[in-house]
Structure 1
Amino acid sequence: MTDTIQAPQMPQLNAPAPSFDAPSTHGQQTLDAYKGQWLILFSHPADFTPVCTTEFIAFAKKQDDFAARNTALLGLSIDSHYSHIAWMLNIKEKFGTEIKFPIIADLSMTVARDYGMIQPGASDTSAVRATFIIDPQGVLRAMVYYPMVAGRSIDEIHRLLVALQTADENKCAMPENWKPGDAVIVPTPATPEAALARADEGYNTVDWYFSTRQL
């Protein structure tokens, strides 16, 4: 009889994000505490590792930009609370960057498992580089997984956040690599009559299904 590898539990987009209540470098952290603001929850494989250090420095340098978008940052790994503290102090001493956002110490791997951060094909003893964008209602709006060997682009995570917020505010969609100031995608007509009328609605229309506008 052969052993079967159990697939990791995966959260679902546009569904409530898994709740958590976990210790961190800034006291106990719960999902409910972030209601009313956006949250970037991100995991890293281990403290005191080079790739993770570059990511945390980049998140720290971008923290004010996230805060300006009503967005909090919350890190996580399966290291201990004391390891997190020592690593934060080391980053400040060696790299001149202060980590001001909390880092969850998920020694039980409870949060990591609930969010599918444990990927047996990559590692079953540490969390991969997973990033989750959770909206002010506690709904999971985006998730991105990176392999252990490649660091994330924090600029891209910020771009994705801004795109989601802008789409919500303006009832539109965003084209590839959209940035503020670029044209947005107008929702596609849902009926033949609406499709025929689209050309006269004042948008930049290439065809009935593809129209853009400036915000």
Structure 2
Amino acid sequence: MTEAVTLKPIPRIGDPAPDFNVVTTHGQKKLSDYQGNWVILFSHPADFTPVCTTEMVGFARLNDEFEKRGAKLLGLSIDSIHAHIAWVENIRQNFNIELPFPIIADLDMQVASLYGMVHPGASSTATVRAVFVIDPEGLIQALIYYPLTNGRNLDEIVRLLDSLQTSRANKVATPANWQKGERVIEPPPKTVAELQKRRETDYPEKIDFYLVKKDL
């Protein structure tokens, strides 16, 4: 029987991602082992469930896209390591695809508790579909939650990672529905001098003084 755990507040954007030392399908892992890489830490409600299976296959098929961006995938549910391994093999047999990333066996719900992945209003015995995007310094840069019944848009997670990395590298923002290669938003002026400079600068797209777009 799973012991009760104390639910902690959900870590916020800008917070250090709580470290952990866990058993996974790829052996013992610590979050701090990934320092220097982006990490996509995601939870699923349970092994051998239909929506979760489609998501794991989807993540596996996009693994190379995450790798190209210097990001590592790390899955989690509160199932045992034996259930995880059996599920990995079941996915290989049914979809002819290997899962190239580790899955954390969080049977005692310790990691799920650290990251606020258990929402009692949805289920007290399963994690919701949480995604944490962690930067190379170990800080949380984005988090997304989905209910148990609805699968994630995995392309959006890739798009979000592109957006975060672009903003970080160029000190810019990205507009709604932005895709890699499109124009980005120059941060609005913070002083009168910056405003004057903006008036005198040609931009490929200037809507107003506070909203201008440029090419990278």
Identical-pair percentage: 51
What is the letter of the counterpart of residue 194 of structure 1?
E
Q: Does 1:208 align with 2:203?
A: no
Distance 1:94 1:199 in 2: 60
> Secondary structure at 2:57's aligned position in 1?
helix
SS of residue paired to 2:97: coil
Per-residue Cα deviation, 1:39-82 (whole angstroms, up to 9, x for no partner): 00000000000000000000000001100111100000000000
Structure 1 residue 7: Cα displacement? 6.8
Letter in 2 for 1:205: K
1:94-148, Cα deviation, whole Å (9 max, x unpaired): 1111111100000110100110100111111111000000011001000000011
How many matched pairs? 210
Give TM-score, length-normalised by structure 1.
0.95
Shift of 1:197: 3.1
Structure 2 partner of 1:98: 98
Name the structure 1 match of 2:20: 20
Tell me if the contact between 2:163 and 2:174 (Cα under 8 Å) persists in the aligned partners.
yes
Measured in 2, the distance between the counterparts of 1:202 and 1:177 equals 24
- In the TM superposition, 1:104-115 aligns within 5 A as 104-115=104-115
Q: Tell me if structure 2 keeps the 8 A contact 1:199–1:205.
A: no
Matches of 2:185 and 2:150, distance apart in 1 = 31
Supply the distance in 1 between the matched residues of 2:209 and 2:193 (Cα, whole angstroms).
11
Question: Counterpart of 2:147?
Answer: 147
Q: List aligned pairs for 1:31-180, cutoff 5 A.
A: 31-180=31-180
Q: Is the 8 A contact 2:7 2:113 kept in 1?
A: no
Secondary structure at the aligned position of 1:205 is classed as strand
TM-score (norm 2): 0.94
The DSSP-based 3-state class of the residue aligned with 1:84 is helix
- Rounded to whole Å, the distance in 1 between the matches of 2:192 and 2:7 is 43
Following TM superposition, the consecutive aligned residue runs of length 4 or more in structure 1 with deviations greater than 3 angstroms are none
Deviation at 1:86, TM superposition (A): 0.2
Stretch deviating more after TM superposition (188-197 or 20-29):
188-197
- Between 1:204-213 and 1:74-83, the stretch displaced more is 204-213
Give 1:3's aligned residue: none
For 1:9 and 1:207, the matched residues in 2 are separated by: 40
Give unpaired runs (5+ residues) of structure 2.
1-5
Moved more, 116-125 or 199-208: 199-208
AA aligned to 1:157 is I
Which residue of 2 is the match for residue 195 of structure 1? 195
* Residue 194 of structure 1, CA deviation: 1.9
- The 8 Å contact of residues 8 and 119 in structure 1, kept in 2 or not, is answered as no
3-state SS in 2 of match to 1:193? helix
**DSSP 3-state at the match of 2:151:** coil
**5+ residue gaps in structure 1?**
1-5
